[in-house]
Amino acid sequence: MSHAADLEALLGLSNVTYKHNLDKAALFQEAIENDRGRVREGGPRDEQKCYGTALGVEGPLVYYTDPGSTGRRVKDTFAAAYPEYEDSVWWKNDFQRYDPEKYEGLLARVVEHLNQKGGHLYVQDVFAGSDPAYAVPFRFVGEYAVHALFVNTMFPKGLEGVPEDRRFTLLNCPSFFCDSERDGCREGSDNALIVDLKRRIALICGPNDYCGSNKKTLFTVLNYMLPDMGYLPMHCSANVGEDGDSAILFGLSGTGKTTLSADPARELIGDDEIGWTDDAISNFEDGCYAKLIDLDKDAEPVIAAALSMPCTVIENVPPLPGKPMGETDPQDLDLTDGSITENTRFAYGLDCNPVVRDGARGPVPSTIVLLTADAFGVLPPVSLLEQDEVMYHFVSGFTAKLAGTEVGVTEPKAAFSACFGAPFMARHPSVYAELLAKKMKACNARAILLNTGWSGGPYGVGKRISIGHTRALLNASLRGDLDSVETEKHPVFGLRMPTSCPGVPPEILNPRNTWQDKDAYDRQASELRDLFHKNFADKGLAELGIAAVM
């Protein structure tokens, strides 16, 4: 069946034409010529959204989202709550129930809108996942060429042996504006993102046009589907050493997941979304979607170089004052300018990285790293974890927000996100924790908690642990140097801390040593421990079978 016949049978689209699997250069030009919508608060809905730079098609496409969609609209993210999925989905504030009848009515109205509008839609046939063992054929259907270009950049293509009955179709229609009373979306909202697990459809409608919504929707789908295959989906980065030893690094934003996995001595598998089958780990994606705000080009040379590569996508970086984008070299863009959003983004192909693992796949991991950035300054720089401790810290997903990152935050604030990616985890945390425990045991992987945060005091008093020391601790762990070293037990957290590590001053390995005021350290450590306890109780983690190890 052709894609046109398939889409008519699945969705009812009948009065549209398709621009199917255009290459990146063609999509680049189409986006500049055809993508129209709102790009500024109160502005018209027919403004140009995409621009080339002085490099033309040999450089990046610069795209501006709707001003209300400069990031994921988590309050407008749903799943159709069919009865057969009621118990298996992890319902929460950023993945809420949507009435199935309301959803079906909304989908029909969106299709009717597109049929009446006529014209063309962009279709890209790619895969979510690089391993045929679990990969999902992914068909993007949408109004914006820039979204098709983003999907082409971010997802694998040309896989063989993937069953067609896994296919997921995403319909992206920014020109249809929802009515909350009629359509059942959030009160006062004009948009919705709804995942239909029953029919394998995702619907994005209204000005919900942030590129990352396409990517994270498919991540959520894989997070639901893979456990039924016995495989573990993970929000982590991964790489492989010269000896064929794989490592996975879990972590929330700002903990070093991308930076630490980019190591010239190790081949990169991926920096954000990874799957673990019985005998391999692999990237869900074929690209990277990096934050650009305040990018240090010396510290992040790969991203800096990719800014000038053909048909990559720069999102919401403002033009230079008084200079047309078409006359601007992308290297001259002001990456400190957050006037549109602090969440400026950049999508580029995985092949922009200089050292990438062939096929973005590697063997099962020898080392599991849980990353945290403790801005309270009390967790050890590295801790050696037993399996029960891995489960506890995995489902806790702790890091700390810094003062000044949110209005009203004047001191470090604890953040807990189960499985280091709760918004995208479509099943209950215990599902992923049990799979992780089973797979860890099967491959006898070591595990560490690596703190990339502060030492000598909290943020504003102490200093961030140097990247040199963090890399030394990570590399020692990957080599197995810490497997049999002498340890001491932290009196508050119960964590095992090594007393020595090559290239790291021994006095910093116990964080209490780095504080001048030892009583203040003890109080702060106890306060953080109590926050862990509260999160454990509030989330009902004991009822999920997680041992209270702290």
**What secondary structure letter does DSSP report for 458?**
S
Active site residue 72: yes
Q: Which helix (H) or strand (E) holds 192?
A: strand 192-196
Query: Which of 166, 235, 361, 428 does the annotation list as catalytic?
Result: 235
Query: Which of 216, 427, 428, 446 does the annotation list as catalytic?
Result: 216
Distance (Å, whole) CA 210 – CA 70: 6
Query: Which of 102, 345, 427, 496 does the annotation list as catalytic?
Result: 345
Active site residue 77: no
Active site residue 336: no
Distance (Å, whole) CA 92 – CA 278: 30
For residue 92, the cross-strand partners are 95
Distance (Å, whole) CA 319 – CA 341: 13
Distance (Å, whole) CA 265 – CA 185: 49
Q: What three-state secondary structure class fits 349?
A: strand
Active site residue 258: yes
Active site residue 216: yes
Q: What three-state secondary structure class fits 296?
A: coil
Query: Which of 38, 147, 257, 361 does the annotation list as catalytic?
Result: 257
Q: Which helix (H) or strand (E) holds 219?
A: helix 211-229
For residue 281, the cross-strand partners are 276, 362
Active site residue 526: no
Active site residue 272: yes
Q: What three-state secondary structure class fits 399?
A: strand
Q: Calculate ∠ Cα 324-329-333, nearest 5°.
A: 80
* Size of the chain, expressed as the number of residues it contains: 550
Quick one: which of 479, 481, 495, 486 has its CA closest to 549?
495
Q: Residue 174 class from Cβ within 10 Å (0-12 exposed, 13-18 middle, 19+ buried)?
A: buried
Quick one: which of 29, 405, 59, 480 has its CA closest to 243?
480
Distance (Å, whole) CA 318 – CA 217: 26
Largest distance between two CA atoms of the chain: 72
Query: Which of 180, 253, 466, 500 does the annotation list as catalytic?
Result: 253
Query: Which of 35, 69, 70, 72 does the annotation list as catalytic?
Result: 72
Query: Which of 66, 209, 272, 374 does the annotation list as catalytic?
Result: 272
Query: Which of 258, 261, 328, 383 does the annotation list as catalytic?
Result: 258
Say if CB 249 and CB 238 are below 8 A apart.
yes
Active site residue 499: no
Distance (Å, whole) CA 148 – CA 355: 26
Q: Which residues are known to be catalytic?
A: 72, 216, 235, 253, 257-258, 272, 345
